Amino acid sequence: MSTIDSTISERVNTWLNGNYDEQTKSALRKLIDSNQPDELTDAFYKDLDFGTGGLRGIMGVGSNRVNKYTIGAATQGLSNYLKMQFPGEQIKVAIAFDNRNNATTFAKVVADVFSANGIQVYAFEHLRPTPELSFAIRQLRCHSGVMLTASHNPKEYSGYKAYWNDGGQIIAPHDKNIIAEVNKITSIDMINFVGNPKLINTIGAEMDDLFIDTVKSVSINPDAIKSQHDLKIVYSPIHGTGITIVPKALAAVGFTNVNLVEEQCVVDGNFPTVIYPNPEEKEAMTRALQLAAKIDADLVMATDPDADRVGIAVKDPAQNFILLNGNQTGVLLFHYVLEQWKVKGWIKGNDYIVKTIVTTYLLDKIAASKKVTCYNVLTGFKFIGALMTQLEGKSTFICGCEESYGYLVGDHVRDKDSVVACTMIAEMAAYYKSKGKTLYESLIDIYLEYGLFKEELISFTKSGKKGAEEIAAMMAAYRTNPPLSLGGQKVVMIRDYQNSIERNIITGETVAIDLPKSNVMQFVTDGDGIVSARPSGTEPKIKFYVSVNTSLSSAHDFTAKEKELDQLIAAMKSDLLK
């Protein structure tokens, strides 16, 4: 213990001598006996806190790990806060969980702690997608909700997403206030772990049916689905919750030829067929692509473990399947929805879409052309949901998007929803096929009209306490010594979202940024490029979002123009890391 910081040593001793179960203490002794000071430091150097995706971390013993005690403390803190916010009311919460290892155990801990505090609990009987939890909170008029998930993180991870009464993830000031309540819990003896079964209710298939009916109601062109009902669709849930509802939803809207990647339909928190259960990764999509090639499919879709995000693959002109990134899928989907709303006369002048500041600005151009307002919010779909709640009853929400494969069409939830995204993407494919076009060709058409936009996410993993310090130093350097040029393009605008200042380098003019403070730096070039630097809120990474664009006058020029943009992105990346 002499090789670790005294503060960390004190935390370790608290766990060894406190009222923790013997299994936990045994695991901790094993770490000590095996002489793993770095592991002990990472496990205890801080408490888990709420980021853009809530509470998320590696499972194991320690204050910086996900376990029954950190889960219990978070739930006790949330319980205390709910009682403060809704005095005299019978508080209700909903709970769901995905396929993560220990998910059912953690869900029971959450239900027990809530019910032990006199809170009425509505818990899904089996694993269900995150968007269905958001839907259930709104349907049951709950005050809060919890989703046990680590989204697309590796198998070692678990997590805890907290939701408010609008069905959206918790944002400021509630997030910080809840952490403050958690921090008041100085002993695990302050956590009420003994549940009250009389206050725990089960959510069954009736919620699935209601959710699917609502998703079905979002459809714009049911006739297109009817004419192309046998569209060949390949779908994979990547061992997660999507299997419980996506195939049913596709069938409900009318698709009759959905082909499942059977080996990835097995619910398994070890994710045996993939390295990372992330539809952004080509490796995770390999089996779906193999099945698609075998049956000559029209469309490939795969959802992440908690089924709030979806990745797709489409055929190029050579009939090869290519993966679209989150921006490309968002552009296709938004263009289809907005164009169809325009054709049907549904756009009334007070309609809007929402995207995050790191999502392609091609969406802003498309919205402007349809006379629809486009709002930009901070990274994290919780900010899209919060704006939807703020504008509810005043303006009409059409759709929301974040570049990390998250989409929402319709206002039935306050989070990204791969279930409605899958049905609408399939409908879009059916519609364009009925017009003799593929999704790939439709994307090129958009580029011809609005310009060719190319985005790339560049991320660097820096784990543990040392990694967190390195990321902090990088962000500080970007503020004190920002790049003057990127990829040969002069930086003309700097946006510092932490200090809420936008500064025009040419004129010296500054403008206040009217968004919550966030540790993001954004550099705009004279070539209309945008580079955003942002530490991840859910992973030990610093991320760079690079967006560049150029004109495209002919489909034949697409490959050459795309190569030019790839070279520009590479040059910008090089400048960022100097």
Q: Of the candidates 539, 541, 495, which has an alpha carbon nearest to the alpha carbon of residue 520?
A: 495
Distance CA(531)–CA(521), nearest Å, equals 8
| Helices (H), ranges, 86-201 | 103-116, 130-139, 174-183
Distance CA(345)–CA(338), nearest Å, equals 10
Length of the chain: 578
Q: Of the candidates 254, 260, 263, 264, which has an alpha carbon nearest to the alpha carbon of residue 233?
A: 260
Residue 403 tokens read as 């570049």
- Catalytic residue among 151, 219, 236, 404, which? 151
Is 151 one of the catalytic residues?
A: yes
Q: Of the candidates 198, 245, 87, 169, which has an alpha carbon nearest to the alpha carbon of residue 413?
A: 169
Q: Of the candidates 205, 430, 461, 157, which has an alpha carbon nearest to the alpha carbon of residue 304?
A: 157
**In 271-301, which positions are buried (b, 16+ CB within 10 angstroms) versus exposed (e)?**
bebbebbbbbbeebbebbbebbeeeebbbbb
Cβ(114)–Cβ(79) below 8 Å: yes
Q: Alpha carbon of 539 to those of 424, 459, 468: distances in Å?
A: 30, 10, 10
Residue 463 tokens read as 């784990």
Distance CA(327)–CA(332), nearest Å, equals 9
Q: Alpha carbon of 376 to those of 170, 245, 388, 389: distances in Å?
A: 19, 30, 12, 15
* Residues with active-site annotation: 151
